[in-house]
Structure 1
Amino acid sequence: MSLASCEDILDEQPRSNFDPSFFQTEKGLNGGLTSMYAHLRWIYGDAYYYNTGLTGTDEVTYGRDADENFLVMDLSGRGVINANNSRADRLWENAFPNINTASGIIENAAAVSTISPALIAEARFFRAFDYFLLVQTFGGVPLDLGSGELMFNRNPIRTSVRNTVPEVYTKAIFPDLLTAINDLPVTGRVIGGATKTLARLYLAKAYLTYGWWLENPNNIPTYPEAQRVDPDGHNAQWYFQQAYDVATTAIESPGPFGLMETFYDVNLAQNDRNKEMLLYADHTETSELYNGGSLTWGNGGAPDNYAGWMMTWNYTNIRSSTTQDWSSPISSVQREAVQALGRPWTRMAPTIGAITNTFADKTNDSRYDGTFTTVYRGNWPKAGVDAPVVFNANSLEVSPGGAILTFLDEEPATAITYPAPGQAGRSNVGAGELPGRADFVISPQGISRIVYPGLWKLGPYRTDNGNGLGQPNAGSTRPFHIAKFSELYFIAAEAAVKGAAPKAGQDARELINVIRARAGKWRWDNNGNVAKVQDNSAAMVAATPATIDLNFILAERSREYFGEGYRWYDLVRTQKWNELASTYSIGGDKYGDHTPQTVVRTIQPHHYLRPIPQAQLDRMDVTPAEKAAYQNPGYN
């Protein structure tokens, strides 16, 4: 990983472990700090952890080629989540070593006079960051890794004791983040480095999440069992107010951060590392060492950034013909290392409800166009196919760069003619035809587990493609975005809905309307591939309800962060998972299946926590009964 700020370069020297003496030198402490950023790539961009944050929500279900890891997360009868197949192990396995490294830095930094409080604060931020992810995912987790609570562990240990949720928040997360806010710089020491604004975002989010935990409106069980009482004597409302205050302080004192002018520019690959990005797991196309993986091939494993493959259907199966009689079919949309395409895995698929309900307004709101690839364009010349045009729907001609297959925004007034399987001159992937159109089409109600809009925002980007297809089989060399400045508005708005007293001009509706007004601004029609300078901000603001509720905020969060891994955590925090995601609709797993099926999920209270990974249980030298007690209930 290479993070450059003027002349500053975060030089990663990969290490398998850190010993105590290493942390007693300036070089050792700086190496440990660098590893704080490197460890992000083993969690974010990893497709299996990515799956745990989305599959089974109202955003995402499993795709046609899903294996057990994806099927079970859907909770729709395709298997049972257990300690072996829940891929939240990616978080557990990578967070605890990093926590121990952070504790080593914090403990030893005082002995090295050249290490500033700002550098130590980076370690404090990451220790809190990891513990916050862990407590949301698993419930209470151990603060003592072998040498005492929040101490650097120097010795192997085969036992473990889990702390309660309140202990993790009040002993680890809150103190570390408060210190980090005080000591971190306004501007990071390197591009992508920890800052006051980043720490405020996570403190506000932690306060908000803990407030919900204390309130527990739907009586969701916790583990280890604990009273919903704060050790510091505060109630849920106090924490909601703190969340609001910290978030609005960050908005008012943003440092070098802020909102991009358009939603399209937030996720446009050429704009990666923009002012809205507070934290990301970085990658680069200039060096395999600093990228953390091959620049030409990916096998589907961390630290590659390959999450974007999962919701990419196999568009390379689309066929057009170089002859009007369809005697010479070719793959007219080749696999290419560009943001609209990338490497297809078909492990995950958007639900029909996400397309039709979450993104109901596709005219004023730019976020549907800035989230999905809905038009697949011909690129056959880049694969060496010498044909000036191909024949496509209705046997009409399409030139290179023209639309081959389009997912329609709405159900058309004219009925789509879908082909019979294998019908000559018709779409081999089951897409249909409309009179006079050369592109094959699929309506929103026609998407299925095998053919669906792709996830444009996570698509790859390379500057070394030349005139060819580039390296579409490699992991993405883009950074995986983890934290965005925009979330401060959502956190403050949610806290206000939960009863926090708002400041003038910053009530829940006003905060959300900042985001909605931005969503109404267009500068580019992504799927139309043409400039579109249009400001629909007034219409977006006017359409906001006079009084917004939690469901409206959650819908806005889905429009803003669809497919980025937020959704399971949002639904678990607010205890809305069962209400919003217990059923969904999608077509089947065969080409040409355009009949939506309603699928029922069985989401039980114990699913609000993921199982402790089997690898952790196997490492523990304790009795079977103690292992059973260590595991979250419902997973033994």
Structure 2
Amino acid sequence: MKRLKIKSFLGTAVLAFLIASCTDILNEEPRSVYEPGFFETEEGVRGGLTSMYAHLRYIYGNAYFYNTTQTGTDEATYAQSADQNFLVMDISGRGDITPETSRADVLWGNSFNNINTANGIIENGETVGISDALIAEARFFRAFDYFMLVQTFGGVPLDLGAGELAFNDNPVRVSSRNTVPEVYTQAIFPDLLQAVNDLPDNPRITGGVTKTVARLYLAKAYLTFGWWLQNPNNIPTYPETSRSDPDGNDAQWYFQQAYDVATTAIDNPGPFALQDTYYDVNWAPNDRNSEILLYADHTETSEYYNDSSLTYANGGGADNFAVWMMTWNYTVLRSSSSNTEWLGDIESVRREAVQPLGRPWIRMSPTIGAITNTFDDKTNDSRYDGTFTTVYRSNIDVEPAISGPVYNANGMEVAGGDPILTFLDEEPATPIDYSLPPEQGANVGAGVLPGRPDFVIGPNDISRRVYPGLWKLGVYRTDSGNGLGQPNAASTRPFNIAKFSELYFIAAEAAVKGATGSRSARELINVIRARAGMWRWDNSENEERIEDNSAEMVAATPSIIDIDYILEERSREYFGEGYRWYDLIRTQKWEEVAGSYEIAGDNYGDHTPQTVTRSIQPYHYLRPIPQGQLDALDMSAAEKDTYQNPGY
């Protein structure tokens, strides 16, 4: 069998957004274009399923969509080289989020094509002899896309031109939005319930959807709709509608359903399980491990199937380039070939295709609070070490090698693999000396400590220009040989979308909201915290660390768990993975948690934290309908105004 590469497929109703898609998930015969009638064949339906997996990579790993899920939260702000794509999302006076500037268009533009493909598969699958299990995959993806859309934009169209949830084969220029309850009760919940019933326990292919991932999204949708019904901070919805369930259930019913479905999935995991250590979850050689339920896949073996260059990427299309955004320009670090005078002539940390390094873009940076408060325990809890690159090590020994000797801070000699710059876990007892001028070695504004050959920066001293990188999303290649590899290519790693661990968080959050069952919120969270206390490797020290701090982690858990603690734990577990904005808007805690933050400025050597206030308004809880959508509608100006979310 040959792999199928889908170039494009016909059929969207709202706008005729066409996307390029490919995958190496399924094995079928190549075909370049789908016509509507093609879905009336078994080959067409199977090809459509392949495209549904492929569409994930046009959303997840896309840095502009990633930016909308992170920038403006307590986890991330814009960095020194940010353009307007990133500045506006911070909501801190650097521009406004508008229908033209919001990059949530990435989600809108790629989801409706996929939804229409799902409609075609669901309508034709049984007729052409496709099993219920395969049709359930389409049901899952239709629900998945609608769930992402309804969280992001509010109510969205169920009718793409041929009737609600019907396959449309003619582009149309008019559209009407359904309400939030209609999207949940007519599309998301029925599709996911059917997917849970019909999907297998074990994936039919590597990375295929299963009962467990369907249960996760069903539980999460129940949880999210429960919050929507409750609306604790009176956040407006659109299109305007009463905060009521068409089926007559209240918020508490939905919280209980979320708990029950999540705990059922925990008890019936199929092939999925938590990894033994947090490090193993995100360690690149262990990608596609048992904890990962869904991912947007990539490959280093073929540009054709990767749908992205393996040598140089521009950041677009199917490129997985999200991690570039929070990677500062470590390549400006310099060491010296002399220990008697500072020459600054050695580029001691070169751009390399390895997990701690990769390609710098400097578009996003973590906030100081994320470093100092979210990850307050850096001794017992392995998640800070398993999230960030905090030590930038010399790679002068990597081909083409740089001959030594090489000298660094305090005129001390360093070799390949030795630290050149360290972001300290805590402020040292001896104050960091930041007084050295750049020509004496601190060319990135770092400081020195007595007896240390590495330059250092304290946790309260990070800036928009120099900050720890995001190790967990870092690149990984097996084809670099003894050299630096291809650090200018997009990442060929899968971008993780859903993890088995989140089932514990969903059940715990539902328990906090009043759901009852055999496990308390504290017991559920402590499963995750106990795992976080297990170490097998120390990234900052670059050495094995066999250590069990699970008892200390469990003991430190508050006796009473509230939603604020759930959110703190979620950030420790999923920092920088694209969860944060959705977590904060679901719980309506965005302004409370992220209304202000601290970070130093744009310049090397700037270690003075500035407190920045964001102007997060209730209408910001929905992203604007993209301007491209509005421009393509053949509707009056008044109708387009009604179509758009208020405030934009």
Normalising by structure 2, report the TM-score: 0.95
Secondary structure (helix, strand or coil) at the match of 1:250 reads helix
Q: Deviations over 1:97-142 (max 9, x none)?
A: 00000000000112112x1000000000000000000000000000
Partner of 1:555: 568
Quote the residue 1:19 is aligned against. 35
> After the TM superposition, which residues 79-98 of structure 1 pair with which residues of structure 2 at under 5 Å, given as runs?
79-98=95-114
Matches within 5 A, 1:394-543: 394-422=410-438, 424-503=439-518, 506-543=519-556
Corresponding residue number in structure 2 for 1:375: 391
Alpha-carbon distance in structure 1 between the residues aligned to 2:207 and 2:517? 31
Q: Spell out, residue by residue over 1:177-229, the C-alpha distance to the aligned partner (whole angstroms, 9 max, x if none).
A: 00000000000100110100000000000000000000000000000000001
Partner of 1:267: 282
- The reply to whether residue 575 of structure 1 matches residue 588 of structure 2 is yes
SS at match of 1:436: coil
1:61 corresponding residue in structure 2: 77
Q: Work out whether residues 166 and 230 of structure 1, in 8 Å CA contact, stay in contact via their aligned partners in 2.
A: yes
The alpha-carbon deviation at position 384 of structure 1 amounts to 2.6
Question: What are the superposed Cα offsets for residues 423-446 of structure 1, whole Å, 9 maximum, x if unpaired?
Answer: x32210000000000000000011
Task: Tell me the amino acid that sits aligned with residue 574 of structure 1.
Answer: T
Alignment pair present for 1:363 and 2:376: no
Instruction: Tell me if the contact between 1:311 and 1:345 (Cα under 8 Å) persists in the aligned partners.
Output: yes
Match of 1:29 among 22, 42, 45: 45
For 1:559, give the aligned amino acid: R
SS class of match (2:535): strand
Residue identity in the other structure for 2:153: F
Q: Give the drift of 1:400.
A: 0.8
Q: Which whole-Å deviations, capped at 9, do the CAs of 1:147-194 have from their partners, x for residues lacking one? A: 000000011100000000000000000000000000000001001101
Contact 1:18-1:101 within 8 A present in 2 as well: no
| Contact in 2 for aligned 1:129/1:202 (Cα 8 Å) | yes
**What is the deviation of 1:419?**
3.3
User: Deviation at 1:328?
Assistant: 5.2
**Which amino acid is 1:265 matched to?**
D
| Secondary structure, counterpart of 2:531 in structure 1 | helix
Q: Measured at CA, do residues 230 and 17 of structure 1 come closer, stay the same or move farther in structure 2, by a change above 3 Å?
A: farther
Do 1:2 and 1:283's aligned partners in 2 also have CA atoms closer than 8 Å? no
The equivalent residue for 1:235 is: 250
SS in 2 for 1:444: coil
Q: In structure 2, the residue corresponding to 1:481 is in which secondary structure?
A: strand
Aligned CA distance change for structure 1 residues 9 and 150 (closer, same or farther; 3 Å): closer
Q: Is the contact between residue 2 and residue 284 of structure 1 (CA under 8 Å) also seen in structure 2? A: no
Query: 1 CA distance for matches of 2:521 and 2:38?
Result: 49
Instruction: Please state how far the C-alpha of 1:420 moved relative to its aligned partner.
Output: 4.9
Pairwise CA distance, 1:389: 3.1
| Equivalent of residue 77 in structure 1, options 90, 93, 99 | 93
| Alignment CA distance shift 1:602-1:530 (3 Å) | same
Supply the AA of the counterpart residue of 2:271.
Answer: P
Specify the alignment match of 2:68 in structure 1: 52
Q: Does the aligned pair in 1 maintain the 2:358–2:487 contact within 8 Å?
A: yes
Q: Counterparts of 2:452 and 2:535 in 1: how far apart (Å)?
A: 26
Do structure 1's residue 121 and structure 2's residue 97 form an aligned pair? no
1:508-560 C-alpha deviation (Å, 9 max, x unpaired): 00000000000000000111100000000000000000111100000000000
Aligned counterparts of 2:220 and 2:229: Cα–Cα separation in 1: 14
Indicate if the aligned counterparts of 1:395 and 1:425 stay in contact, CA closer than 8 A. no
Alpha-carbon spacing, 1:186–1:590, altered in 2? closer, same or farther (3 Å) = same
The answer as to whether partners of 1:419 and 1:592 remain within 8 angstroms in 2 is: no
Tell me the amino acid that sits aligned with residue 124 of structure 1: R
- Deviation per residue, 1:374-400 (Å, 9 max, x gap): 000001232534323311111111111
What code does the residue aligned with 1:151 have? Answer: A
The corresponding residue for 2:261 is 246
- C-alpha RMSD of the superposition: 1.3
Deviation at 1:290, TM superposition (A): 1.3
Deviations 1:255-291 (A, max 9, x none): 0001000000000000000000000000000011111
The one of 223, 227, 234 equivalent to 1:208 is 223
CA contact (8 A) 2:76 2:365 kept: yes
2:127 maps to what in 1? 111
Q: Secondary structure at the match of 1:121?
A: helix
Q: How does 1:576-595 map to 2 (within 5 A)?
A: 576-595=589-608
The amino acid across from 1:634 in the alignment is G
* SS class of match (2:158): coil
Cα distance between partner residues in 1 of 2:441 and 2:343 = 12
User: In the TM superposition, what is the alpha-carbon distance from 1:330 to its structure 2 partner?
Assistant: 1.7
Count of aligned positions: 627
The answer to whether the aligner puts 1:142 opposite 2:142 as a matched pair is no
Task: Name the aligned partner's letter for residue 190 of structure 1.
Answer: I
- 1:152-163 to structure 2, matched below 5 A, reads 152-163=167-178
Contact 2:25 2:53 in 1 (8 A): no
Distance of aligned partners of 1:12 and 1:84 in 2 relative to their CA distance in 1, 3 Å threshold:
farther
Q: 1:242 to 1:2 in 2, by over 3 A?
A: farther
> 2: distance between equivalents of 1:582 and 1:66?
20
Corresponding residue SS for 1:33 = helix
Q: Equivalents in 2 of 1:363, 1:331: separation in Å?
A: 32
User: Cα gap change, 1:552/1:64 in structure 2, threshold over 3 Å: closer, same or farther?
Assistant: same
Does 1:189 find its partner at 2:184? no
Q: Give distance in 2, aligned partners of 1:548 and 1:407.
A: 32
Q: 2:194 aligns with which of 153, 157, 179?
A: 179
Are positions 1:623 and 2:639 aligned together?
Answer: no
| Cα displacement (A) at 1:63 | 0.4
- Equivalence for 2:400: 384
Q: Distance in 1 between matches of 2:25 and 2:298?
A: 14
Aligned 8 A contact 2:3 2:29 in 1 = no
Question: Is 1:311 the counterpart of 2:311 in the alignment?
Answer: no
Aligned-partner Cα distance in 2 for 1:537–1:481: 25
Identity between Structure 1 and Structure 2 (%): 73
- 3-state SS of the aligned residue for 1:110? coil
> Which secondary structure does the structure 1 equivalent of 2:443 belong to?
coil
Structure 1 range deviating more: 425-434 or 325-334: 325-334
* Matched residue type, 2:278: F
1:18 deviates by 3.1
- TM-score (ref. length: structure 1): 0.97
Contact 1:24 1:112 in 2 (8 A): yes
Query: In the aligned structure 2, how far is the partner of 1:622 from the partner of 1:472?
Result: 47
SS class of match (1:191): coil
Distance 1:12 1:603, change over 3 A: farther
CA distance in 2, matches of 1:583, 1:327: 41
Which moves more between the two structures, 239-248 or 287-296?
287-296
Question: Following TM superposition, by how much is the alpha carbon of 1:327 offset from its aligned partner in structure 2, in angstroms?
Answer: 2.6
Which of 99, 102, 124 aligns to 2:118? It is: 102
Partner letter of residue 357 of structure 1? N
Partner of 1:609: 622
Question: CA contact under 8 A between 1:139 and 1:223: conserved in structure 2?
Answer: yes
Q: Which runs of 5+ in 2 are unaligned?
A: 5-23
Whichever residue aligns with residue 191 of structure 1, its letter is T
Question: 8 Å contact 1:59–1:563 — kept in the other structure?
Answer: yes
Amino acid at match of 1:73: M
